[in-house]
Chains A and B, each alone.
Chain A
């Protein structure tokens, strides 16, 4: 009996000790737990312990679900405090589906770019698809790229190719335009470049076959497997600067490209407060810049002028293009 009594005391003590430790760890006074759905390319930023600490300093703890920016509008958005897609048009579409608590806030920017390696870029150069721009940056000539795609150009047909002599079409690996902002904006740029030749735009995507739904997925596969996964992969500049630079890696800017405004759509007051904080807090803005995003205080190392970029489309224009494209792709 005596032993049983002590055992009970012991168990109670253990439970109390466990519970109080849990209490101390889990509930700091004033912490607000927010849930959000975010563009996958933002996941490494929010996973950064410094970002977590900065947010915790302001009393925020976040639980985030990465998703394709163009898919967010179709998700059940009811449980979230905010959505954080990769562009203003995607934000507009989301705000149309669930009314926002305050105006969407653009918190940082990143242009579309193409990650590759120097042997591949050399091949592109000899095929007349890429050229060195001012400084150390490279551009991918989209007009020439579409023309090559129309011809069914393969890597093994580029004269003098010994580095990637593979019977595969010259393609940029993207996500699905209907799912993901990066591919959606790329489709828009291609549509502008071709003067609205939807057939040509479709082929650039159709030739790839089935693809991923978020921009982070092909980028990670490329980081892991390099040109075996894909010799060229569509990314946000920020992804490459944050984790892609080094070795023989090269970043190309499509000519022209488009600058994507990463925009928070708040659904709750707490979400609206967080949006303001991300846009205005100097430490968080500095950390965003350290992750490669362009911010008010850090406009980016490569200057993209008016001739290098085209303005972001409005949502109805983009939506119509994507619907027409999706019809041809499925």
Chain B
């Protein structure tokens, strides 16, 4: 027992050095919670993980982020699906969500955590040539220069990712030029100028993270893209990463921007404990000391109006205004804009589906494939289904294979009145039959022969197979041919007993991505997600 005082001293010493983090000087003590806060979040918020780790130590609340695409996330909130699995949402913006009549009853307190405007980042030399280092261009001037191919850029798909959607809204509002919110009937008159703007787009993606990777990859392969339309935070983070051969100059359009404000939003279904946890996390994230960290680590601007939170010099513009452009106030206007983007504004796509119809696909697998493809012809009435339909002006090529590559069938959708072509695709898909061996790489090479080199289209290949190659060329043969093939990404879908290693390598070799559809019923969601990349 004589040793007890020593132990007590040790206890004191230990508790002193394992002490929970202290609030910054001048800030009140941390609010405390217990357990987790389950958050359905935009994928670009993953860079806040280090901040959330510190928040967990300070508040006792572990924030668990589950990444989702914009429309999928919104759909999950408005249909009530999110309420079953999550306590809160955290998207770049709630603007589009709030236009949905069912959102009000599902969402409660919102806490804005940071802000970032959608801007154009351009390689410095290109910005200089265009004269945009001295004079800030308007979105109209940017659209004209893009239409004349005086620069190229990458941007995410507005139907899949918030940065692309915000960019589309911003450029449309600026071109409409009324100074008030865009209405559905104003889209027609500005269509030619919007088309010019999108003619300069040479890189597309379903998420901001993948867009960055594709941008860096293009530069590394000696065919650099001139710029990116994305959040200022993404451009500044890229500059700070040291991965760019030439830094990007942030162009702040003179007529304004659309700004993300990252509202951490409580779902009305959240439990009492989750509400307490939410309050603790919201309080933590809005502390000036934490706002400063968010700015330093993620290049997002503070949301909290504390005059001590001054912006780092990298944030512009150095002179003049940066007015906020209005976001459509009606759901029909926002939806019409997303719809118009796909059917008439974007550079049209040539989309080649390489489909395994070997014997192992018989039964449920073939039925699943038919459902997934039919969903893209307008049969899927959900929010995400609505905006992943095959688009006006798109070329859809179906290339089935088994022992040998089958006959390819090309469907060309007109700009308007494309329902008959969608019906033809449905009819064609319905007749697909499974039989024979699996000549994966012969089929893939046949798809490349069809891809050609069409500069005016975004061309991509989707490869779906449920097993190993059994006949024809193998991966080594394909790998050897890659340098001679056109630069067309292959999006591989893991299905059934796919060879994960080979499918991942095919995606990596070609600048594509792998999508996992091995879970039961996962194929339609995978096909919809791929639409963001096509």
Contacts and interface: CB of A to CB of B under 8 A. Distances in A.
Interface of A: 6, 9-10, 13-14, 17-18, 35, 49, 63-67, 71, 74-76, 79, 152, 154-155, 164, 166-169, 171, 176, 178-179, 205-211, 213-214, 217, 220-221, 223-225, 227-230, 243, 329-330
13 contacts: A63-B276, A66-B109, A74-B104, A166-B256, A168-B323, A179-B104, A206-B330, A207-B181, A208-B181, A210-B326, A210-B328, A225-B324, A330-B99
Interface string B6-28: 01101100110000000000001
B289 interface: no
Which of B15, B275, B324 is most buried by chain A, counting CB atoms within 10 A of its CB?
Answer: B324
B383 interface: no
B98 A230 contact: no
Nearest to B263: A217
Contacts of B345: none
B266 A329 contact: no
B181 A164 contact: no
A328 B295 CA distance: 40
Contacts of B321: 164, 166, 227-228
A210 B94 CA distance: 9
Interface string B152-187: 000000000000000000000000011111100000
Contacts of A223: 305
Contacts of B380: none
A225 B112 CA distance: 14
Contact of B179 (A66, A167, A214, A330): A167
Given A76-B268, A220-B305, A166 B323 contact: yes
A227 B323 CA distance: 7
B87 interface: no
B327 A209 contact: yes
Nearest to A26: B32
Interface string B252-295: 00011000010000101000100110010000000000000000
A102 to B, nearest CB: 24
B479 interface: no
Interface of B: 3, 7-8, 10-11, 14-15, 28, 95-96, 98-99, 101, 104-105, 108-110, 112, 115, 177-182, 255-256, 261, 266, 268, 272, 275-276, 279, 302-305, 321-324, 326-331
Contacts of B305: 220, 223-224, 243
* Consensus secondary structure, chain A interface: mixed
Nearest to B328: A209
Contacts, number: 127
Contacts of A9: 7
Contacts of B96: 210
B317 to A, nearest CB: 10
A131 B327 CA distance: 31
B255 A217 contact: no
Contacts of A179: 104
A13 B326 contact: no
A30 to B, nearest CB: 20
Contact of B180 (A17, A209, A213): A209
B323 A63 contact: no
Contacts of B180: 152, 169, 171, 206-209
Contacts of B255: 166-167
Contact of A224 (B8, B101, B109, B303): B303
Contact of A14 (B15, B326, B327): B15
A228 B177 contact: no
Contacts of B326: 207-210
B104 A224 contact: no
Nearest to B95: A210
A179 B107 CA distance: 12
A163 to B, nearest CB: 10
Given A10-B10, A13-B11, A17-B11, A65 B181 contact: no
Nearest to A6: B7
Nearest to A164: B321
A71 B103 CA distance: 11
A209 B304 CA distance: 23
